[in-house]
């Protein structure tokens, strides 16, 4: 699992062989910063957080999620369903996100979507399960795989930040999807480390 970094020397050796550019970035990353505020044990909490954070700047998203947590108190399906929609809207959620978190809560509570067995599923099966929920698409499911389940082989081709990080690190102004796939395919089975390296590269000069 990516967060425990027990196999980090193996990962570094792998990237030194297949992609030296990424290998140079990996030791510069503060891995604790990437994972310390993302509790892995509460899948419903994390998915709710991911929905609320969608398409928002970090500080804005954090503020709105803080209001949401205060309103709900304990983020469980039953508690989310008990809160009036207007109160969620007043906390800063868009009407679309109100419907998304309620749909997640409804489907988890009814067990139409099961979160208890996700660790035992492969990546594509997890994505298939999660996209049953309104507002959860492939990108959100992939972020859940990486930051909550700590899967080591995740690269989200729909993530603009990864595309921009790739362009910066490799000096290609507009990398084609085929070019990105050609490079990333060499990273397997440790694509997640390369993903974080690309995001990290956007924060450095």
Just list the catalytic residues: 159
Helices (runs of H) and strands (runs of E) counted in the chain: 13, 0
Alpha carbon separation from 2 to 10, 155, 164 (Å, rounded)? 12, 13, 23
Closest CA to 145 of 33, 13, 46, 8: 46
Q: Where are the beta strands (DSSP E) in 71-196?
A: none
Which DSSP string do the residues of 64-118 spell out, in sequence order? HHHHHHHHHSS--HHHHHHS-HHHHHHTT--HHHHHHHHHHHHHHHTTSS--TTG
């Amino acid at each position: 699992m990516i967060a425990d970094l027990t196999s980090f020397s193996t990962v570094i050796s792998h990237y030194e062989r297949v992609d030296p550019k990424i290998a140079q970035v990996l030791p510069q990353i503060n891995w604790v910063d990437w994972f310390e505020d993302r509790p892995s044990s509460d899948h419903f909490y994390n998915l709710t957080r991911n929905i609320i954070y969608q398409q928002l700047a970090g500080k804005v998203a954090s503020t709105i999620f803080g209001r949401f947590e205060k309103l709900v108190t304990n983020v469980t399906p039953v508690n989310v369903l008990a809160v009036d929609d207007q109160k969620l809207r007043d906390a800063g959620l868009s009407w679309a996100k109100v419907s998304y978190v309620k749909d997640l809560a409804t489907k988890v509570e009814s067990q139409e979507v099961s979160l208890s067995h996700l660790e035992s599923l492969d990546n594509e099966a997890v994505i298939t399960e999660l996209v049953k929920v309104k507002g959860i698409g492939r990108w959100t499911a992939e972020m859940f795989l990486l930051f909550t389940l700590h899967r080591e082989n995740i690269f989200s081709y729909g993530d603009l930040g990864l595309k921009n990080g790739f362009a910066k690190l490799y000096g290609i102004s507009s990398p084609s999807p085929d070019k990105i796939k050609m490079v990333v395919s060499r990273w397997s089975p440790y694509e997640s480390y390369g993903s974080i390296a690309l995001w990290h590269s956007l924060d450095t000069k």
